[in-house]
Homo-oligomer: A and B are copies of this chain.
Amino acid sequence: MKTIQIKAPYLIFLGSESRQTYAKTGMGLVQWRRELCAGQLSLSETAIDLGLEPLSLQQAVDAGIQSLVIGTAFVGGGMPTQWIDILVEATSLGLDIVAGVHQRLNDIPELKRAAEKAGTELIDVRVPPEELPVGTGKKRTGKRLLMVGTDCAVGKKYTALALEKAMKAAGMNVDFRASGQTGIMIAGQGIPIDAVISDFLSGAAELLSPDNTDDHWDIIEGQGSIFHPGYSAVSLGLLMGSQPDAFIVCHEAGRKHISGWNDFALPAIKDVIERTVLLGKQTNPAIECIGVSINTSSLSPVERDDYLSQLSQRLKLPCFDPLRDGIQAVIKILTNN
């Protein structure tokens, strides 16, 4: 049993996309894993430039690139024919194809045939591995830090990646563990936890952060919120299986309701901390909250300083916006541990 595994280095495919919001995957890869991105391929001169070397498919193969990663989305319907032609050629040349788009790669017959013939892989990061275990609850070696949220889309992935980067810079032994599709592309491995069959949820989370050395930290990307009327089970399965020693609550300043579920007030950060400790204790009695990561983009600089210092005083925890303040407050706690 294993997680999704993507072979580096990558050729990032951008289609003809000129809008940044549609090329988030490609931009995230360059932001967080520049060293794995060996080239870019686009179909138009007006397409986004990620600042990578433009390579043809043959040049990519000659340069030792292993995977073509689709770094952008396509809107509506099926995948454009022009894309399919490129992917078929890429896989015939020996590249794996990696995507997290709506249409599954294996559902495109000509691409599937070409990959079977070439012996390459079509890796759909929305599809979990086939054989997953049931959670055992058994303690694993090494240390784990989980992001938990007051809601979806509050900066869990960003905080985890920023932490991994800062911890590496501080000389710590650390890995980012991806539980969602964009994270998996960035990490080059992982499991899309929300697509796992319920019975295997905590087992998948256990597989995601396996035994490790005593000084090693897994920084685990969180999903949803344990208060979420739609996704709480995903969050609980991830919490149970991750057995985190520590967690960071992620929140967006000013958000009042669960996004898209407007009958539900956003839970208070204090309540998220208490409930995470209560539920997490079942598989790790030592679980504790070590900080609060806030997206303060809706606040003015003055409001922001007031908000963070008041929150920090009230919770007696480091409260920070990783985009603006960096993440040194957490590094300090982790290195003192």
0/1 string, A121-150, CB within 8 A of B gives 1 = 000000000000011111000000000000
Is the pair A261, B137 in contact by a Cβ cutoff of 8 Å?
A: yes
Query: Is the C-beta of A283 less than 8 angstroms from some C-beta in chain B?
Result: yes
Which residues of B lie under 8 Å from residue A135 when comparing CB positions? 229-231
Interface residues of A in 180-233 (CB under 8 A from B): 193-199, 201-203, 227, 229-233
Give CA–CA (A234, B197) in the complex, Å. 10
Is the pair B229, A137 in contact by a Cβ cutoff of 8 Å?
A: yes
Interface size on A (CB < 8 Å)?
33
Give CA–CA (A295, B268) in the complex, Å. 40
Give CA–CA (A231, B198) in the complex, Å. 8
Query: Is the C-beta of A237 less than 8 angstroms from some C-beta in chain B?
Result: yes
Min Cβ gap A100→B in Å is 15
Min Cβ gap A39→B in Å is 34
Which residues of B lie under 8 Å from residue A297 when comparing CB positions? none
Give CA–CA (A202, B196) in the complex, Å. 14
Which residues of B lie under 8 Å from residue A137 when comparing CB positions? 229-230, 261, 263-264
Query: Is the C-beta of A106 less than 8 angstroms from some C-beta in chain B?
Result: no
Selected from B138, B197, B232, B264, the residue in CB contact (under 8 A) with A195 is B197
Query: Is the C-beta of A115 less than 8 angstroms from some C-beta in chain B?
Result: no
Is the pair A236, B229 in contact by a Cβ cutoff of 8 Å?
A: no
Is the pair B232, A202 in contact by a Cβ cutoff of 8 Å?
A: yes
Query: Is the C-beta of A240 less than 8 angstroms from some C-beta in chain B?
Result: yes
Is the pair A236, B230 in contact by a Cβ cutoff of 8 Å?
A: no
| Known A-B contacts A137-B261, A196-B198; A237 and B232 likewise in contact (beta carbons under 8 Å) | yes
Is the pair A283, B198 in contact by a Cβ cutoff of 8 Å?
A: no
Min Cβ gap A18→B in Å is 31
Selected from B198, B237, B240, B283, the residue in CB contact (under 8 A) with A193 is B198
- Top 8 closest pairs, chain A to chain B, by CB: A137-B229, A233-B237, A135-B230, A233-B233, A194-B199, A201-B233, A134-B230, A198-B234
The contact sample of 13 A-B pairs, CB cut-off 8 A, is A136-B230, A136-B261, A137-B263, A137-B264, A138-B263, A193-B198, A194-B199, A195-B198, A198-B201, A203-B230, A229-B282, A229-B283, A233-B233
Known: A136-B230, A201-B233, A229-B283. 18 other contacts (CB 8 A): A136-B229, A137-B261, A193-B198, A194-B197, A195-B199, A196-B197, A196-B198, A197-B197, A199-B231, A201-B234, A202-B229, A202-B230, A202-B231, A202-B233, A229-B240, A232-B237, A233-B234, A275-B278
